[in-house]
């Protein structure tokens, strides 16, 4: 089942669920709206990968604002954001854990012959395709930085 088909099916279920489905319905509509905007810009229907990019972008936006709400102790918004993140994660492929990310990093470091932090761009370039939609880019970047810094010392 494609992401669009799944979103449409889940949207119908959320509409039937009335009150319990309100947040899920809102998130699904937001995904579809962002995708529609992309389709209009592109002039054609989105591929499966492009759907995942739209969802990943929405997820990243929520993760980026979360620390701000936490800093200002906005508990109601923090709870809502965590729920939205959980809903968005349902539509992405299984996320890689740190051990899996480290295995990819070690392979990329060996492949590009990285020797320290100055090679961060080469390593990240190699990793981007392998981790796209499967891992938080910020987390991948942190792990690469740690790995390359350890090599230098």
According to the model, what pLDDT value does residue 152 have?
67
According to the model, what pLDDT value does residue 116 have?
82
Taken in order 8, 12, 14, 19, the sign of the CA dihedral is positive
Domains of the chain, by residue range, sit at 3-90, 98-152
Q: What is the pTM of this model?
A: 0.74
Dump pLDDT digits (tens) for 90-104: 998 888 888 898 898
For the domain spanning 3-90, the CATH number is: 1.10.1510.10
Q: Does 107 score more than 70 pLDDT?
A: yes
Most confident of 9-13, 95-99, 134-138: 9-13
For the domain spanning 98-152, the CATH number is: 1.10.10.410
Residue 151 vs residues 112, 117, 121, 137: alpha-carbon distances, Å: 14, 8, 15, 21
Question: Average pLDDT in the 70-85 region?
Answer: 90
- DSSP letter at 113 equals T
């Amino acid at each position: 089942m494609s992401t669009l088909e799944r979103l449409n099916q889940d949207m119908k279920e959320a509409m039937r669920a009335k009150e319990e489905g309100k947040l899920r319905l809102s998130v699904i509509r937001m995904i579809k709206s962002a995708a529609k905007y992309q389709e209009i810009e592109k002039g054609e229907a989105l591929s499966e990968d492009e759907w995942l990019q739209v969802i990943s972008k929405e997820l990243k936006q929520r993760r980026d604002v979360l620390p701000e709400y936490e800093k200002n102790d906005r508990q109601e918004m923090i709870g809502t954001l965590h729920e939205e993140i959980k809903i968005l994660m349902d539509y992405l492929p299984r996320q890689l854990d740190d051990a899996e990310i480290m295995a990819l990093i070690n392979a990329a470091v060996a492949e590009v012959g990285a020797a320290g932090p100055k090679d961060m761009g080469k390593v990240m370039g190699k990793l981007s395709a392998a981790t796209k939609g499967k891992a938080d880019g910020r987390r991948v970047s942190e792990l690469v930085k740690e790995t390359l810094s350890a090599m230098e010392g």
